[in-house]
Chains A and B, each alone.
Chain A
């Protein structure tokens, strides 16, 4: 199985990344090299194996769903590229 440059461009779009023609060629090559390497897993018999999502036997726990103090609005906005001191400001979302 090999990925074409157009498919790589589509994946880049899904990941919110832009690539130049040259970059696309190079990333497509890397992607194919990696996919070829990982294809070795297809030879492993996993027909009766459950997927492992949590690597240790000590299970994660749930906390009570209760209100707790959190960061202030002022603190939360400290690292924002653009704000009006109440909201994050971003370019227009809705088409005119």
Chain B
């Protein structure tokens, strides 16, 4: 039913009358219904999507439609869309309605994308399996007994299972790349500050990024071109000009210097994942690209550093959910402080509370220097590792995750083991650099394998260049 590989082709089909946008939206809506067991969506905007499709179809016919005209997009439910529910997959925001729209979402709407719904995720984006949602776990479309990855599991599933063209997710420690890897789609985490965070519910403010999931590199590039850039409502958003990714991609056939960090191929790496990555590296070498081993010695400290810093930021950012001004409030509290405690205790989930507790501990008097400040210092060492390596190579290639998708329930009782599944992805967030996961085959159970590409800050184009090369190898 999908006759196109990317948005450019879709738009050409619509223009030539071979594809009806309205029928295309119906196809996605019916796929969402048929596969409701996967639990990918929290809200579906059936009527609005139909209305928007007719509107955009006539704009296309008149020749005055935007760059993303008719692209059907799902949005992770941590991003605001005015007038719609914003739950963050938490019971404390079960009835919260956004009073404004996130910049990234608004930019898609301004270019005539059709927003089809809001996707399920781990509560406040905290998790690596999408099992921590107040709206129930999301399931992997390849095999529903397996997790889709997290935290942007719903967005990855929506793209993999043809419920939309493209989806927005967020990535704080791997939450776009790891579910992209587990579901067999492309997912890009931009440089920190490349996409405005205005309208994104804060998890860890010095790590959070917004980026696309798609079935092609072209669509990832098309979305990035639209959502990236300066925004006067996010004081951390970068003023560095956004490149014309699509045009640049069509021009290029560079020889790339590819680094392979040895720390990402150690013990715990599933043999099938290792051989899939190695085989791609062999083909890249045959194609004339330069491959060299490099070292990022601080990698071993990434998870510890990541969890100290993000949990500290969590304990601070989530203090606002107290039942006073918005969100759910516990009944029958004797005084204000009881109301705060009861609302938070009743309405926040177990993993969120665990992180708040650890974050409060590392920031508390007497421990700040030993944990928080120490982790900030190690963060600099991790950043310096990358800066050094990127003076020698253009990009790094690694596995996205040490394994393919695991079974639902397999790691949910052991928080530390769950945290370790982010071992290859947290470093990019610590260093603020961009990373992308791209599908490179599947294991013996048919579960997808993802290859991660990382580049220096603001070098998204390098990710897309190598991504295109690998996409061609895979086809």
On chain A, the residues within 8 Å of B107 by CB distance are: none
CA separation between A35 and B96, bound complex, in Å? 35
Q: Is the CB of B333 within 8 A of A15?
A: no
B374: which of A41, A53, A63, A80 is its contact (CB, 8 Å)? A41
Nearest B residue (CB) for A88: B325
A71: which of B96, B99, B305, B416 is its contact (CB, 8 Å)? B99
- The count of chain A contact residues (Cβ–Cβ below 8 Å) is 50
Q: Is the CB of A61 within 8 A of B356?
A: no
Contact with A along B420-445 (1 / 0, CB 8 A): 00000000011110000000000000
CA separation between A27 and B376, bound complex, in Å? 25
How many residue pairs between the two chains, A and B, have CB atoms under 8 Å in the bound complex?
Answer: 166
On chain B, the residues within 8 Å of A17 by CB distance are: 341, 344-345, 348, 353, 356-357
Q: Is the CB of B324 within 8 A of A30?
A: no
Binds A, one of B17-25, B236-244, B392-400: B236-244
Q: A16-B322, A31-B358, A79-B327 are in contact. Are A49 and B377 (CB under 8 A)?
A: yes
CA separation between A75 and B324, bound complex, in Å? 16
B6 within 8 A of A: no
CA separation between A92 and B339, bound complex, in Å? 10
Q: Is the CB of A79 within 8 A of B326?
A: yes
Q: Which of A22-61 contact B (CB under 8 A)?
A: 27, 30-31, 33-35, 37-38, 40-42, 44, 46, 49-58, 60-61
Binds A, one of B163-171, B217-225, B379-387: B379-387
Q: A12-B357, A58-B193 are in contact. Are A49 and B326 (CB under 8 A)?
A: no
Contact with A along B303-323 (1 / 0, CB 8 A): 111011000000100010011
CA separation between A16 and B379, bound complex, in Å? 29
Q: A81-B323, A81-B328 are in contact. Are A41 and B305 (CB under 8 A)?
A: yes
On chain A, the residues within 8 Å of B324 by CB distance are: 81, 88, 90
Q: A11-B364, A46-B377, A58-B240 are in contact. Are A91 and B357 (CB under 8 A)?
A: no
Instruction: Report the minimal beta-carbon distance from B139 to chain A, rounded to whole angstroms.
Output: 26
Instruction: Report the minimal beta-carbon distance from B7 to chain A, rounded to whole angstroms.
Output: 29
On chain A, the residues within 8 Å of B96 by CB distance are: 79
- The count of chain B contact residues (Cβ–Cβ below 8 Å) is 74
Q: Is the CB of A33 within 8 A of B416?
A: yes
CA separation between A49 and B383, bound complex, in Å? 12
Contact with A along B332-367 (1 / 0, CB 8 A): 011111111110110010000110111011001000
CA separation between A16 and B377, bound complex, in Å? 29
Instruction: Report the minimal beta-carbon distance from A91 to chain B, rounded to whole angstroms.
Output: 5
Q: Is the CB of B357 within 8 A of A51?
A: no
Q: Is the CB of B361 within 8 A of A11?
A: yes
Q: Is the CB of A27 within 8 A of B431?
A: no
Q: Is the CB of A51 within 8 A of B342?
A: no
Q: Is the CB of A55 within 8 A of B430?
A: yes
Q: Is the CB of B340 within 8 A of A76?
A: no
A58: which of B239, B327, B345 is its contact (CB, 8 Å)? B239
Q: Is the CB of A55 within 8 A of B325?
A: no
Q: A15-B360, A16-B322, A38-B371 are in contact. Are A44 and B354 (CB under 8 A)?
A: no
Q: Which residues of B pack against A, CB within 8 Å?
A: 95-97, 99-100, 191-193, 206-207, 232, 235-236, 238-240, 300-301, 303-305, 307-308, 315, 319, 322-329, 333-342, 344-345, 348, 353-354, 356-358, 360-361, 364, 370-371, 373-381, 383, 415-416, 429-432, 457-458
Other contacts beyond A15-B357, A27-B357, A34-B416: 7, CB < 8 A: A17-B353, A38-B308, A55-B383, A58-B239, A58-B457, A60-B235, A76-B99
What are 30 A-B pairs at a CB distance below 8 A?
Answer: A15-B357, A15-B360, A17-B345, A17-B348, A17-B357, A27-B353, A30-B415, A31-B357, A33-B416, A34-B415, A38-B371, A44-B377, A44-B381, A46-B377, A46-B378, A49-B380, A51-B380, A52-B379, A55-B207, A55-B429, A56-B432, A58-B458, A62-B235, A76-B99, A79-B326, A80-B326, A81-B327, A81-B329, A88-B325, A92-B335
